[in-house]
Amino acid sequence: MQLTVARIGRAHGLRGEVALDLRTDNPEARLVVGSSIDTEPAEAGPLTIERARLHQGKWLVTFAGVTDRSAAERMRGVTLVVEADVSDEEDAWYPHELAGLRAELEDGTVVGEVQGLEHLPAHDMLVIKETDGSRTLVPFVHAIVPVVDVPGGRVVLDPPGGLLARDADRLEVAEPTPGSGDSSDGSDGTDGTND
């Protein structure tokens, strides 16, 4: 299985440098000058990193053989990938480790299966396919996902009310009672007199 390190973005300058949209927490280890990195689609690579630098909070990279802006623009959208291994960090998991895990509530009720992980600006979101087929994004934060048990094949969720589609079915809409001011004849409930 392959992990996404980054997606190549727009060209920067005129000499083939590109901006990267990172998907790794450790760019210094992944973007080592002289290293070769596979791509998706595979025919776009492998690419050899000739230069890598951090500029105004954004990683910029130059690849061997990419010497001008036109060549850099043609690379836009290419994904840089590496072979996956198992994460050895506590409280850190690769997306492929999470995909397929059973999603259950704290009482053991199975609510679905983890389909993957989406990287959003605020934080990562678990993509859950609920038992009714609904696709739900669950914030991947400890307060809502207190347990990730990869060996046990499960994640435990403690979602706020209404987050899961199964909860939406249980929410009741209050029906107006007769004489509560709701009039089916279209009137506003007044007797038409001015006091």
pLDDT of residue 64: 94
Asked if the model's pLDDT at residue 89 lies above 60, the reply is no
Asked whether residue 69 carries a pLDDT value surpassing 90, the answer given is yes
- Tell me: the pLDDT tens digits for 137-159? 999 888 899 998 888 899 999 98
Contact 9, 58 (CB under 8 A): no
- Interval 99-113 mean pLDDT: 92
Query: pTM for the complete prediction?
Result: 0.48
Kindly tell me if the per-residue pLDDT of 184 is higher than 80: no
What fold, for 95-168? SH3 type barrels. (2.30.30)
pLDDT of residue 8: 93
**Alpha-carbon gap, residue 38 to 3, rounded angstroms:** 10
Query: What are the DSSP calls for 35-100, one per residue?
Result: -EEEEESGGG--EEEEEEEEETTEEEEEETT--SHHHHHHTTTPEEEEE-----STT---HHHHTT
User: Quick one: pLDDT at residue 123?
Assistant: 74
pLDDT at 110 over 50: yes
Residue 60's pLDDT band (boundaries 50, 70, 90)?
very high
Kindly tell me if the per-residue pLDDT of 176 is higher than 70. no
Is the fold of 2-83 the same as that of 95-168?
no
Give me the residue spans of the domains in the chain. Answer: 2-83, 95-168
Give CA–CA dist 159/106, Å, rounded: 10
Average pLDDT over residues 89-107: 79
In this prediction, residue 169 has a pLDDT band, given cuts at 50, 70 and 90, of low
Residues of the chain above pLDDT 70, percent = 78
Enumerate the β-bridge partners of residue 129.
Answer: 113, 135
Fold of 2-83: Elongation Factor Tu (Ef-tu); domain 3 (2.40.30)
Taking residues 39-60, what's their average pLDDT?
Answer: 90
pLDDT at 17: 94
